[in-house]
Structure 1
Amino acid sequence: MTRIVLLILLGGWFFFEGCAPNTPERKAPPPPMVRVVRVQKESFQPALKTFGTLTFTRKADVYSSQEGTIDTVRAEEGDRVASGQVLATLSREKLLIAREQASATVSCREALLALAEEKLQEGHRSVEARILAMEKAEAELAQKGIEYAHLSEVLETKKKLFQAGGIPGGDLEVIRTQYSKGKTEWEQSARDLEIQRIGFRDEDLLRAGYAVPRSKAERITLLKELGTKTLQAERDVALGELFIARAELSRIDLLLSETEIRSPLSGIVSLRAIERGEKVSPETLLFSIYDPQSLYALVEVHERDLPGLRLGQTAQVQLGSSQPVSTLSGRVRILTPYLNPQSHSAQVRILLDPPYNQGNFPELFPGMFVRLTIPTGPIRKVIRIPESAILPENTPGKNHESEAKAPPSPGTVFIVRDSTLFKVPVLLGDRLEGKVEVRGGLEEGDRVVVNPTRGLGEGERVEVSE
């Protein structure tokens, strides 16, 4: 019975199989193609990559030191000027007239000083003459004193002879007359000498503030000074007036020299703010000049990147618009000690290393756009993969324009083993130039999928393109 049932079933299967239409054999779809990169260690140096603009380190705004009218303009914007070069001149006519007057005043004061000097010398000679006259008067007084004493003795002798009857009375009267005359002359000479000594006495020296001299030479010197005080004062007044006149002449000469507006430094004229015939004052800006041989690259650095920066760090500065690309070196010179509260960033100035603005380098100007790379750590061997290998939900974001040292963050990648996809969690580090450091989760030799599509899933079979 069982055999009969099996035969019926087998016959039915052949019947239906023979009646079924012919269909082509189905083939399984090919696995998707993925591009992979093989993981290997490479040399890597973390760096801050950002952009900024060039600015000057030395700049001078040129003003006039006096009011005046612009007579000539000798420099234009863009001109290269040397330190001390004349940029413009002010009108000088009034100052030239004033200088002639001041020069004449100086000549007059010089003549007055010469006259005062001559009077002083004449005064010294007059004092010397008075001293000699006093010495002569002293000698004459002494002589008259001797003669008076002699006549006094003769008179006494004659008196005795007259009393003895040895001489007549007329002879005694003659001697009396001679004695009276000698006494009068001696007293007169003494009074004349006293008059001549007025102003030359010890009390006169003491009253004038001098000590009584100990020697004749010192006394003569002091008497000359004391006797010509008025003349010395006149000479000092004349000398002071001459100094004032010369100072006025020097002032006018200075004003004349300052009518030539000169450049305080060598550089390029970035601004000319005046025209010929225009009136200017000390508050009027005339020119602006900057030194093209000393430039900063000015950048704004976010607060999260500041800990990696230090004064003296080297930097590579790439000119953004130059063809071919030119790269300069520099060093971090200034880190501003405060942040912009809106952008949470600080200004950093990188001083460019010379030489530049010469040779094959394009000419640099303030305001030019530059790209900068500032190394923030040592070179080390690390695993780095393209950022496009990170699955979209873990792709590192960019909150600002720079690339810098970043704190570790988790991520996920696909790796291929035996043509099969596997999801691998990784620990991500620094990013630079489209690549991200992998600090954990991958080993050298692993094949990581680049630009994975959203349809891929773990465990899926794939074809590999390296």
Structure 2
Amino acid sequence: MKRTRIAIIVAAFLGLALIFVWLAGGFVSKLPTETVSAGTQAESIDSAEVIAARVPQFRNFSGSLQARQQSSISARITARVAEVLVDAGDIVQAGDILLRLESDDLSARVRQQEQSLAAAQARVNEARLNFQRTESVVQQGVLPEARLDEARAARDSAEAELNRAREALSEARTSEGFSVIMAPFDGVISRRAVFTGDTATPGMLLVSVYQPESLRLEAAVSESVLANVRIGDELTMNLDAFSDPFSARVVEIEPAADVASRSFIVRLAPNSTAAMYPGMYGKVAVPAGERDVLLVPAAAVLQVGQLYYVQVVTSSGSERRLVRLGEATRWQGRDYIEVVSGLRDGERVALRR
């Protein structure tokens, strides 16, 4: 039993050793270690110089796309949904009918108010005529002045009732208009929350619409680099849904910081909103000064397992050297990689063909 445990432990150590050797590239063919003479190397190997440069430094801040012009359309009356004319993704124009609610009772109320208005108008006409007759008789001295006051009061009361009937009719027509839901602006339907037969209640979401051209990337930018951002600046924006970066213009900076994160909301308008949708995740690169780095051409780096090597060209030949790399960058139109350690300024490295 003891021998078995010892055998298991030894096998485990051997397995770990094999893993470390594999990670170090022990099972991968390596660069040739033989030294090449300087004359032969100059003829057969392309080389480039390790460059010391000052490159812009950027900090990435995450955010999401939000439409600056969007609307969540809710019901203002209680009614059954009679017809839904749009689906999510449909393009609509301002004034297009999106859905209808049942309005039979609302239409009946409008007709009732129209009849009430007609009756009130008739009473006003009668009261005005009665006032004119009474006024004429009073002037002749046949009736006392009190009768004229009564006729005037009846006329004023009828006119007030007429105004009330007009307002009631206007209210009924407005309520009837709430049964027809129209698009408030040109845009795209982002959500359809109801279906035919549902019961809509006041405040209940019916549909949502947004304007694609108003999409903005809203990012929380740290106050430490806010001084490097100005309205109108062109920054680089990356979205997870796209492989290529976009150019975006800073259009708004909220002048108040979030107390918890000490960051400011910065909104950027991308140069194109094609195939972009609200809620997409993205990042924006904000300038954060410059820094001194050593750059080596990307074509000079060879990866072996988890390690990186370059072939350094010397006066006596070439030698393989292990390097530690930083971020990739594009400098003067070429692809370079930052070298953290392993090379010095002015050394030359071989380029892979």
Q: TM-score range by the shorter chain?
A: 0.5 to 0.7
Q: 1:364 to 1:237 in 2, by over 3 A?
A: same
Preserved CA contact (<8 Å) 1:54 1:367: yes
Flag the structure with higher strand content.
2
1:416 and 1:107, CA in 2 relative to 1: closer, same or farther beyond 3 A? same
Which of 30, 50, 72 is equivalent to 1:61? 72
Match among 104, 110, 123 for residue 99 of structure 1: 110
* Corresponding residue number in structure 1 for 2:99: 88
Q: Taking structure 1 as reference, are residues 280 and 227 closer, same or farther at Cα in structure 2, changes over 3 Å only?
A: same
More displaced 10-residue stretch of structure 1: 294-303 or 257-266: 294-303
SS at match of 2:278: coil
Question: Residue 263 of structure 1 aligns with which residue?
Answer: 183
Q: Any conservation in 1 of the 2:314–2:348 contact (CA below 8 Å)?
A: no
Is the 1:313–1:374 contact (alpha carbons within 8 Å) kept by the matching residues of 2? no
Instruction: Assess if the C-alpha contact under 8 Å between 2:296 and 2:337 holds in 1.
Output: yes
Match of 1:26 in 2: none
Q: Is the 8 A contact 2:99 2:181 kept in 1?
A: yes
Q: Structure 2 CA distance, aligned partners of 1:347 and 1:315? A: 16
Q: Secondary structure at the match of 1:274?
A: coil
1:244 Cα deviation after fit: 1.2
Q: Which residue of 2 aligns with 1:333?
A: 252
Query: What is the aligned counterpart of 1:372 among 273, 284, 288?
Result: 284
Residue 249 (structure 1) aligned with residue 169 (structure 2): yes
CA displacement 1:148-185 (0-9 Å, x = unmatched): xxxxxxxxxxxxxxxxxxxxxxxxxxxxxxxxxxxxxx
Say which of 202, 218, 237 aligns to 2:157. 237
Task: Considering fraction of residues, name the structure with more helix.
Answer: 1
Q: Write the deviation string for residues 396-454 of structure 1: whole angstroms up to 9, x where unpaired.
A: xxxxxxxxxxxxxxxxxxx9875599xxxxxxx9995665599xx977xx2266xxxxx
Structure 1 partner of 2:136: 125
Is the CA contact 1:314–1:332 (under 8 Å) kept in the aligned structure 2? no
Give TM-score scaled by structure 2 length. 0.66
What's 2:295 paired with? 385
Which residue is equivalent to 2:87? 76
Equivalence for 1:350: 267
CA pair 349-306 structure 1, distance change in 2 beyond 3 A: closer
Mapped pair 1:314 → 2:234: yes
Structure 2 unpaired stretches of 5+: 1-32, 301-311, 319-325, 331-335
Q: Deviations 1:30-86 (Å, cap 9, x if unpaired)? A: 559999742557684443345543222222111111111111111111111222321
Q: CA 1:313 to 1:326, structure 2 compared with 1: closer, same or farther past 3 Å? A: closer
Report whether the alignment pairs 1:447 with 2:315.
no
Q: Is the 8 Å Cα contact of residues 298 and 347 (structure 1) preserved in structure 2? A: no
Task: Determine which of 272, 275, 286 is the counterpart of 2:195.
Answer: 275
SS at structure 2 position matched to 1:228: helix
Contact 1:60-1:265 at 8 Å conserved across structures: no
Amino acid corresponding to residue 267 of structure 1 in structure 2: G
SS of aligned partner of 1:286: strand
The 8 Å contact of residues 97 and 183 in structure 2, kept in 1 or not, is answered as yes
Between the two proteins, the alignment pairs up a number of residues equal to 290
3-state SS, counterpart of residue 331 of structure 1: strand
Match of 2:148 in 1: 228
Cα shift at 1:319: 4.8
The residue matched to 1:235 in structure 2 has which SS?
A: helix
Q: Which letter maps to 1:120?
A: F
Q: Give me the whole-angstrom Cα distance separating, in 2, the residues matched to 1:249 and 1:58.
A: 34
Distance 1:59 1:310 in 2: 26
RMSD: 4.3
2:347 counterpart letter in structure 1: R
SS at the partner of 1:60? strand
- Give the drift of 1:307: 5.2
Residue 110 of structure 1 and its aligned partner are, at CA, apart by 0.5
Deviation per CA, 1:119-151: give whole Å up to 9, x if none. Answer: 111122123322xx8xxxxxxxxxxxxxxxxxx
User: Structure 1: 5+ residue runs without aligned partners?
Assistant: 1-28, 134-195, 200-225, 390-414, 422-428, 450-463
Query: How many percent identity over aligned positions?
Result: 22
Q: Separation in 2 of the partners of 1:91 and 1:237? A: 36
TM-score, reference length from structure 1: 0.52
Q: 1:376 to 1:310 in 2, by over 3 A?
A: farther
Larger Rg: 1
**Cα gap change, 1:294/1:419 in structure 2, threshold over 3 Å: closer, same or farther?**
farther
Deviations 1:84-139 (A, max 9, x none): 32111111111122222211111111011001100111122123322xx8xxxxxx
d(CA) in 2 for partners of 1:417 and 1:30? 13
CA contact (8 A) 1:36 1:447 kept: no
